[in-house]
Structure 1
Amino acid sequence: MVFYMMTIPAVILFFTFHTLPLIKGIFYSFTDWNGYGDWKFIGLKNFINVFQDDTIRNAYGFTFKFAIVTTIIVNVISLAIAVALNSSIKFKNTLRAIFFFPNVLGVLIVGYIFNYVFAHLLPPLGEFLNVGFLSSNILGNPALAWLGIVFVASWQSIAFNTIIYLSGLQTIDQDIYEASDIDGANKWQTFRKITFPLIAPFFTINMVLSMKGSLNVFDQIVAMTGGGPGNATQSITYVIYHFGFSGGNFAYQSANAVIFFIVVVSISLFQMKVLAKREVDL
């Protein structure tokens, strides 16, 4: 009984700052409320308009493109780093700390730092090295700005994924590797036949978390591009925030948020189902 009473403050706080706003947001998505004043119930009108909105469609396109590319980059690089750090290399404990350092930094701080780097440090270096695409601020190029955000988001996310992969690698019995060495397996065969199948649950975790985090990209966009140039780097979360609070379309963007919530949950569940089936097949 005492245990349950101790959880009451946490439950109240969670309900007040999470569940209640969620319920109110869903309710207002069926109204024409602009964030203040009176409102009236309009049914599914906001949801219908969301599917006809070019700005939102473009934001979904950018968000999916960003999420897929970032998820692949993060997991490939973090897995490679984890395998390297798990081997008998020198200073591996120091290297683990170095690789984890970006995860400690605030996302907005990192975004503003790289904004300065892309705008003021790389262009002179690109001109000196005669590298065309680095000679100008890529964040001001509609075709390249998203790559700058991918780079920063990947650089910061790799640290957390690497730690998870390292945890998975440490669960593998070293006797298995000794047996594979005796059988004459090379490093690639050992990784493909032993390492990767045995860390499949950790791969599932990282893929789901990476995709969810990438779909919700927001801070990097605010700090680096503000959704620009034009609307080239507007993600769904940025559109919801910007037009919902600054544009006075609170109810409309609440409907957008409800749809996006369903999309993110559906993608996460699909990933878990497919990857969990793969774990069993392995």
Structure 2
Amino acid sequence: MKSRAYLLMTIPAIALFFIFHTYPALQGIFYSFTNWRGYGDFDYVGFKNYINVLRDDRALSAYLFTFKFAIVSTILVNVFSLTVAIGLNSKIKFRKTLRAIYFLPNILSIVIVGFIFNFIFTHFIPNFAEDLGINALTQNILGNPDLAWVGVVIVAVWQAVAFNTILYLAGLITISDDLYEAASIDGAGIWHKFWRITFPLIAPFFTINMVLAMKNFLMVFDHIVALTGGGPGQSTESISLLIYRGGFQGGEFAYQSANAVVYFIVIVAISVFQIRVLQRREVEM
């Protein structure tokens, strides 16, 4: 009876996962070897799409932007979230309330947050800076090809810090206060406690945060759509946005399917590399 109950619970889940995830993924891989435009007939072209992706300057530019954005955002979000987590884990008043407040950005819609910050960058900050006479901030950074990515980083990091902070808090809670008391008796300072006690003991949580943050930032889409739409020009066009536009709006379904396969392999390779390097560091600590 129990085995039958398990099957009744798992088979629908497996079926739904296959229908809405595995099957479309396999379909995309299949079409990546064709010249299908999303409609009509198609022919097999072998690895032609993959070769063209590697030669496509627009795709390479999108990859460079995505990597730059992901690396900078991953570093910043982990620095800020760890700092906030340490602060919230200390014995301060209203720390439970502050934890709830800091988590709020994570439950907000990315698109809505993007549109709000779009207004802030476009109107609020320039007008406020003009009233104060701060000429450096009177320009909309989202309209500057060299600075637009900075606005996207600010919004993405602000929203991502909430989730990563919760993970770091989960790690900090596992550290016994006796370790800090013993370190204080030995005369250890704040930085010595952090590097010798806190950071080594939360190393597994650091690994999780680094991998998840990098993976999520490499897949950035909503923030860019709401803030810049990939512009000015193509200066903030990410791989996800390029695949969406070319595949569903530009009649390049097969070509962008090949791009998506390459993109998937890159993300998996980076994630595996991160896990191996960071886990090796955990052992060394």
- On whether the aligned pair clears a TM of 0.5, the verdict is yes
How far residue 54 of structure 1 moved from its aligned partner, in angstroms, is: 0.6
Aligned with residue 30 of structure 2, among 27, 34, 38 = 27
Is 1:236 the counterpart of 2:236? The answer is no
* Cα distance in 2, alignment partners of residues 71 and 81 from structure 1: 15
Aligned-pair Cα RMSD in Å: 0.7
| SS state at 1:35 partner | coil
Q: Encode CA deviations 1:187-215: one digit per residue, 9 max, x unaligned.
A: 11000100000000000000000000000
Residue 164 of structure 2 is matched in structure 1 by 161
Q: Aligned equivalents of 1:51 and 1:133: distance in 2?
A: 39
- Name the amino acid aligned to 1:230: G
Aligned counterparts, 1:100-179, within 5 A: 100-179=103-182
Picking from 92, 97, 102, the partner of 2:95 is 92
Q: What does residue range 1-282 of structure 1 map to in structure 2 within 5 Å?
A: 1=3, 2-282=5-285
Q: CA deviation at 1:91?
A: 1.2
SS of the residue corresponding to residue 233 of structure 2 reads coil
Q: After TM superposition, which residue ranges in structure 1, 4 or more long, deviate above 6 angstroms?
A: none
Code of the residue aligned with 2:166 in structure 1: it is I
With the length of structure 1 as denominator, give the TM-score of the two structures.
0.99
- Inter-partner Cα distance in structure 2 for 1:131 and 1:35: 50
Quick one: distance in 2 between partners of 1:146 and 1:133?
A: 17
CA distance in 1, matches of 2:72, 2:134: 24
CA-CA distance at 1:137 after TM superposition = 1.2
Distance in 2 between residues matched to 1:130 and 1:230, nearest whole Å: 30
Normalising by the residue count of structure 2, what TM-score does the alignment of the two structures yield?
A: 0.98
Task: Give the whole-Å Cα distance in 2 for the aligned partners of 1:211 and 1:202.
Answer: 14
The residue identity in structure 1 corresponding to 2:284 is D
SS of the aligned residue for 1:9 comes to helix
Specify the SS of the correspondent of 1:20.
helix
**Matches of 1:76 and 1:251 in 2, distance apart?**
40
Cα distance in structure 2, aligned partners of 1:112 and 1:82: 28
Identity of aligned residues (%): 62
CA distance in 2, matches of 1:169, 1:126: 40
Consecutive unaligned residues of structure 1, counting only runs of 5 or more, are: none
Residue by residue over 1:221-241, the C-alpha shift from the partner in whole angstroms, topping out at 9 and shown as x without a partner, is 111111000000000000000
Shift of 1:41: 0.4
CA distance in 1 between partners of 2:64 and 2:134 (Å): 29
Shift of 1:136: 1.5
Residues in 2 aligned to 1:198 and 1:62: alpha-carbon distance in whole angstroms:
34
Q: Using the alignment, how far apart are the partners of 2:106 and 2:230 within structure 1?
A: 23
